[in-house]
Amino acid sequence: MKRLFDYLKSQWKKILIAFIALILVDIMQILYPQYVRKAINLIKSLSTDTDKSYWISVLWHYAFIMIALYLAVAIFRLVYRWFLRTVAVSYDHQLRMAIMDKYLSFSERDLQKFDIGDLMSRLIRDTRSVRRFIMMGTIILVDLAVLGGMTIVTMVSMSPYLTLVSVPPMIILTLFVLWAGSYMQKKFKVMLELFGEMTERVRETAVGIKVIKTFVREDFFMKLFEQINDRYIGTGVKLFTLQSSFWPLSSVVVGLSLVIVLWVGGDMVMSGKMDIGTLVSFMMYINMIAWPMLSVGMFITVYSMSKSAIQRIDEVLTYEPEVKDTGTREIEGVSNITVKDIKDDIVLKGVSFSVSKGQVLGITGPPGSGKTVLMKYLPRLWQPGDGMVFVNDIDVNDIRLASLRRHFSYVPQDPILFAGTVRDNIAFARPDATEEEIIWAAKMACVWDDIQALPKGLDTVVGERGITLSGGQRQRVSIARAFLAGKDILILDDPLSAVDTHTERCIIKNLKEYVAQHSPLTIIVSHRIPAIHWADYVLVLEGGKVLEEGTPEELAERDGLYSRLYRYQMGGDVE
């Protein structure tokens, strides 16, 4: 809430203008019935013996004032809505960008603490609630104070007695609105829960379809679904009947007030205590005061919705991401990476190594040995402890994030593609790359033939809105992306897990060529021996520790896991 108030304070000029315009609108709305009153009294006094032309000119006069008043109302209403909207809609955008900035600083581990749908609803739905609150909340509050207050004052000044008898139903109405509002909210929560249960039934049935079909239990799950539907109907019909008759019903109460005015006021007119014009204008005031009274309930709904929205937004805005960009050192070029006894509470139990520019480090080991986790610490996708990872002998935690990551080409284990064209994805790190460069990268990653076979070649849209590439194709696009990025450090995390032997050879051949030409600092993680056997040095990890290390030739000689794998995998290979 504080964030919101600070923002509103910074926009005080616009809000002030809006308030003034809003108050003017309210005043003019209150003046209007007074002219109706005068006009009606005038009409009433008309008779055949009056000087017609004089009366008619007076009548026209009133008519013009009425129209002029409402034109002014229209204009000032546009003014206040314009200014309030500027404040509200701009905040909506600002808030969304602030949230997005936060998300962009989240590590995978931070993201896993939230549900993706939940994160998204904060960006769009919750910001919308806040926007509505700024807009509607202010209008309702001002209307209640100004329009409500001034109308009552005017009514009292016209006839205290009539006010006294006609307002009570309105107060009852307000209480009714408050009660119904909270009742409906409670029921809505029940409905939402039932809806959630229904959603869950559909979801779990879809997920368990194989089991359901195997045991031929479709009927039973139909029955379960029908049960929840019946419960949903039970609550729903009641709630929605109340909800949809709620507003019209409150107009019944307003009608009751009007009848009282008519009844008591009619009496007064007949006994000469009041004129007919006053009676008619009084009825208009009753209509006018009904809105602020009703809106009390609306305000409470809008407020409670926006309150929880603001809380949810605050939750992410105040969330401390795992990786903080507090480092200040800059690095130019990369000469080496050193990892000293790295440990974490997930898998790593002390791994050390050092690689220099131009060298190739191969890492292998069984699943779950910590290879991928280790790679994530290097560009600080995950946060390593202090004194564990060094680039150019500087602790990575002391380096400005962008300055550190600028040097990485990374092929992640799970090849994430960005929605867009194949071209966008290959050129992801270098949007300015030329056509030739992109094709070169695609050829280097041995995916060019596949791309050419796609309906629109490089311009084929992939991802949810386009074509789904196979796992192997995605992996190779991700490799092409890294080749094109052409950074000082090249990390390939299990780049060959989804390709066949032929493609594997093609990629390894090109990779060697690339390394020979550009001599980056290269780290390759793989369970395929051909992918790492050409490395300068090899680590074999097991359970978060180094099981064996040495040059591949040494390891192949030594009797260990590496040599066993080597003998089998390289057995048929002629180098």
Partner 1 sequence: MKLLWKYVKRYWIWAVLGVIGMFLQIFFKLINPYLIRILIDQYILKNDFVGATRMMYLILGFTLGVGIPLIFSSWAINVLTFKVMKDIRMDMFRHMMRQGLYFFSKTPTGVIVTRITNDVASVGDVLAGSIPAIVSDVFIITGVWVFLFLVNTKLALIELVFAPIIAILAIGFGRWLRDLYSHIRDVRATLNIKSQEILSAIPIIQVFVQVPRIRKDYEKTSLEYRNSLFKAFFITDIFNALSGPVLKTSMQATAIVAGGYLILRGSSTIGDVVAFLTYINYLIEPIRDIADKYTMIQDATSAIMKIQRFMNENWYIPDAENPHTGRPEGYIRYDNVHFAYPGTKKEVIRGVSFEALKGKKIALVGFTGSGKSTLLNLALRFYDVNKGAIYVDDIDIRQWKKDDLRSGAAVVLQEPFLFKGTIRDNITLGRDIPLEKVIDAAKRVHAHDFIKDLPNGYDTMVLSGGANLSVGQRQLISLARALVHHPSILILDEATASIDSETERLIQEGLEEVMKGRTTLMVAHRLSTIREADKILVLDSGRVVEEGTHEELLKKRGLYYELYMLQWASGQ
Report residue 74 as tokens: 């229209």
Question: Quick check: helix, strand or coil at residue 387?
Answer: coil
Site string for partner 1, 202-241 (x = CB under 8 A): xxxxxxxxxxxxxxxxx-xxxxxxx--xx-xx--xx--xx
The burial class, CB within 10 Å (0-12 / 13-18 / 19+), for 226 is exposed
DSSP 492: E
Q: Tell me if 104 contacts partner 1 by CB under 8 A.
A: yes
Q: What is the DSSP string of 231-295?
A: HHHHHHHHHHHHHHHHHHHHHHHHHHHHHHHHHHHHHHHHTTSS-HHHHHHHHHHHHHHHHHHHH
Q: Tell me if 498 contacts partner 1 by CB under 8 A.
A: yes
Residues 6+ apart with CB under 8 A from 514: 444, 483
Among 246, 493, 499, which residue's Cα sits nearest to residue 382?
Answer: 493
Out of 19, 176, 195, 353, the residue judged to bind partner 1 by CB under 8 A: 195
Q: Which residues pair with 354 in a beta bridge?
A: 338
| CB of residue 33 to partner 1, shortest distance in Å | 10
Residues 40 to 59: which contact partner 1 by CB under 8 A?
40, 42-44, 46, 48, 50, 52, 55-56, 59
DSSP 399: B
Cα distance between residue 571 and residue 166, in whole Å: 99
Give whichever of 81 and 156 is closer to partner 1, judged by the CB atom: 81
Q: Tell me if 346 contacts partner 1 by CB under 8 A.
A: no
Site string for partner 1, 107-146 (x = CB under 8 A): xx--x----x--xx--xx----------------------
Site string for partner 1, 507-536 (x = CB under 8 A): --------------------x---------
| CB of residue 465 to partner 1, shortest distance in Å | 7
CB neighbours of residue 218 within 10 Å: 12
Give whichever of 90 and 338 is closer to partner 1, judged by the CB atom: 90
Among 569, 45, 527, which residue's Cα sits nearest to residue 275?
Answer: 45
Cα distance between residue 531 and residue 538, in whole Å: 11
Q: Are strands 349-356 and 420-421 parallel, antiparallel or unpaired?
A: unpaired
Output the CA angle 565-570-572, nearest 5 degrees. Answer: 130
Residues 375 to 394: which contact partner 1 by CB under 8 A?
379, 381
Using the rule CB under 8 A, give the single segment among 158-166, 171-179, 333-341, 361-369 that binds partner 1. 361-369
Give whichever of 395 and 494 is closer to partner 1, judged by the CB atom: 494
| CB of residue 468 to partner 1, shortest distance in Å | 10
Give whichever of 8 and 111 is closer to partner 1, judged by the CB atom: 111
Give whichever of 112 and 512 is closer to partner 1, judged by the CB atom: 112
Give whichever of 175 and 402 is closer to partner 1, judged by the CB atom: 402
Give whichever of 2 and 210 is closer to partner 1, judged by the CB atom: 210
Give whichever of 161 and 516 is closer to partner 1, judged by the CB atom: 161
The answer to whether 15 touches 87, Cβ cutoff 8 Å, is yes
Residues 422 to 481: which contact partner 1 by CB under 8 A?
428-429, 431, 463-465, 471, 481
Residues 135 to 194: which contact partner 1 by CB under 8 A?
none
The answer to whether 475 touches 497, Cβ cutoff 8 Å, is yes
Using the rule CB under 8 A, give the single segment among 2-10, 97-105, 299-307, 516-524 that binds partner 1. 97-105
Give whichever of 2 and 465 is closer to partner 1, judged by the CB atom: 465
